[in-house]
Structure 1
């Protein structure tokens, strides 16, 4: 029996390694550490599929896991003060997305704290940030976990409560007594509040040299040095990484005990979601990360290939 040609085996290994790197996907673990119920929303960028859900409810202490696909880009945020009927129609005090529980392609109405990310494909890096450009409604921390390679990944976000020190002209005040809350529930950006080109970095100010930090954006920047405070705040606000999972924690500094988690049913498969993605609320200890699955497949296939083609002596 002749040995399998070395170049055949090398090509086989190369194909498997390519599959291993290109099949990588990240998990977003969204945690509600606030003392109030939140309704996270998701919005996919152009050309990328929707996540398994575009809007859902999270009670205090609960977490949700959303699996992405390689190259996914988009936004994740939390809505507050929402009321929905049995058909999912309603409204939210902050972060509303078209008056529906499922956002279905609608973005967040400002003011809203945003997590934004573009996942790299293969070995390409992820680019991520937390943005206050559309204003602020809740503290938010983004923390990469399970990092690829030797390069460290940085946490980012806005963990301080900007609503407490929000200037009156930017305040969004709740007056309906929702859960006893009649205070400030959001802080608008100066662009949203005044609509001028100077604050929005638009028109003749659509240039990073001309559009500089304002008095109002400086309030956001002092409170949250790593978050975007205005449109051209790239230098200190965009981060790169390659991670298995991103923890997205709302109200990270709140002290509370976690509630038991529950599980959502998988979404109905559709043409827009060809990867068999799932969405579940649970702890991370009871799932297999995509990277682990591919490693298991890699080992199993290599073993089978060697057993079939390599001669016994």
Structure 2
């Protein structure tokens, strides 16, 4: 993957390999606090987070064997150092903490199995903002991964986190049925949020 474009609701991430430069753009008018978490033993850019104003772009660098995730934190308050969604309990810089569900995750694995790069939008922890990621000038099957529907607008009452976010069934109820574990580990699971929003959630391996 030579170049990756990632959009989270209004957040655009461009990934260029060298060391890997990742451009993160907030295409909305809202202010996001970006969260970053790497796999154990790998560096965490910007100590895990930074403020990204509407229309702003910030670049971070990671090594070319990096595995980690990005997420947008919304409704953040610099006075209390907390966010309504995706909060990591550590202020602007998450410093190794993950984001609290429900939150949309953008996941990247560089030089994974077979030396290939992998990327996805994960809703296994729920949804707070729209997201997409698209490689540019890559080789192989470099299609766009995206969640471009407003899941919050169609979220069932029992999965709502106020008006700000929507839990996944697994994150909310934590049962084998919804989390595909134990005897249900190999069962496929499809959740249709609403007839108006034909979204399908496929269980993935979270990095």
Q: Report how far residue 152 of structure 1 moved.
A: 4.7
Q: Considering only aligned residues, what root-mean-square deviation do their CA atoms show, in Å?
A: 2.2
Give 3-state SS (helix, strand or coil) of 1:163's partner.
helix
Equivalent residue for 2:39, pick from 34, 45, 67: 45
Going from structure 1 to structure 2, the CA distance change for 1:152 and 1:212 (only over 3 Å counts) comes to: closer
Q: What secondary structure is seen at the aligned counterpart in 1 of 2:193?
A: helix
Normalized against structure 2, the TM-score is what? 0.81
Q: Hey, what does 1:142 align to over in structure 2?
A: 133
Report the Cα offset of residue 223 of structure 1: 4.3
| C-alpha distance in structure 2 between counterparts of 1:39 and 1:59, whole Å | 8
More RCO (CA 8 Å, sep 6+): 1
Secondary structure of 1:57's match? strand
Q: Which residue of 1 aligns with 2:78?
A: 84
Question: Which one has the bigger strand percentage?
Answer: 2
Aligned to 1:199: 178
Aligned match of 1:114 in 101, 105, 109? 105
Q: 1:172 is matched with which residue: 161, 170, 185?
A: 161
Per-residue deviation, residues 47-97 of structure 1 (Å, max 9, x unmatched) = 211123411111111111111111000010000011124xxx621110001
Q: TM-score, normalised by structure 1?
A: 0.55
- Asked whether the 8 Å contact 2:81–2:90 carries over to 1, the reply is yes
Structure 1 residue 142 displacement after superposition: 0.8
In the TM superposition, what is the alpha-carbon distance from 1:230 to its structure 2 partner? 4.4
Shift of 1:195: 2.0
Consecutive unaligned residues in structure 1, runs of 5 or more: 1-22, 174-183, 235-313
- SS of 1:52's equivalent? helix
The answer on whether the counterparts of 1:159 and 1:224 sit within 8 Å (CA) in structure 2 is no
Aligned length in residues: 186
Provide the secondary structure at the position in 1 that maps to 2:192: helix
Cα deviations across residues 246-293 of structure 1 (Å, max 9, x unaligned)? Answer: xxxxxxxxxxxxxxxxxxxxxxxxxxxxxxxxxxxxxxxxxxxxxxxx
SS of alignment partner, residue 198 of structure 1: helix
